Amino acid sequence: MRRTPLLAAAAAAALLVGGCASPGSTSPGTATVTTPGAVAPDAEGGVEPGATAPAWEPAVVATAVADEVTALDAPEGAPVETFAHPNANGAPLTFLVVQEQEGWVEVQLPVRPNGTTGWVPTQAVELAAVPYRIEISTATNELTLVREGVPIRTFPVATGTGDTPTPLGTFYLTELLAPTNPGYGPFAYGLSAYSDVLNEFGGGPGQIGLHGTDDEGTIGQDVSHGCIRMANADITALTELLPLGTPVVVS
């Protein structure tokens, strides 16, 4: 099993992830975007003698190394779903690792229902460590960026309405797009999450996104169809830091 830096390229798509817009908005086109890479896990650790080990553990991300990866319901089990690499939007096929077992990793799958997991052979992926985590509060409409277990910055965001709420749970960043529609700002991350109430939206499958906006007066409110909306400067700042596979915890 190889452990190498996470490949960072994400490419163009015909439609933005669904569930993002306010009523009346249209789906934007996209252009190629590159994300920062994750780092290879440190095999020897970094704690000096006598020092206290940090309480945090980095997230582990699996990136496909084959043209497709089939996830199973258990090691050597039945197929759950087969995924193309790169994905339909041209981004590297990426999973968030739940646990590792000899020869296998259990990963979160970017499918409905939210929280679905599957097992993939370690020979089909490369593993990398991610020091970041995003925490989003739908109660306060705030996004907190966490590095190595320590909150380092908080941003105001907009989230879903009462009828089209932002789904709760632990997800991850699956792709990074550059919308041509200014209503979605300069960047949009796709998440592994899907709307709990919209099976499709704007020509897409109801996938949740994290994106900018041309109406920053809505930031801090419950106004979207489920996506998380940020000021354009804030989403741009995140794209300079976060690789695909970064965990996103929504509460």
Residues annotated catalytic, as ranges: 211, 227
**Torsion 109-23-157-142 (CA) sign:** negative
Q: 40 and 5 in contact (C-beta within 8 Å)?
A: yes
Amino acid letter for position 147? R
Beta strand 159-160 pairing with 150-156: unpaired
Cross-strand bridge partners of residue 214: none
Angle at 90 between CA 21 and CA 174, to 5 degrees: 60
Rounded CA-CA distance 19/235 in Å is 18
How far apart CA 68 and CA 105 sit, in angstroms, is 16
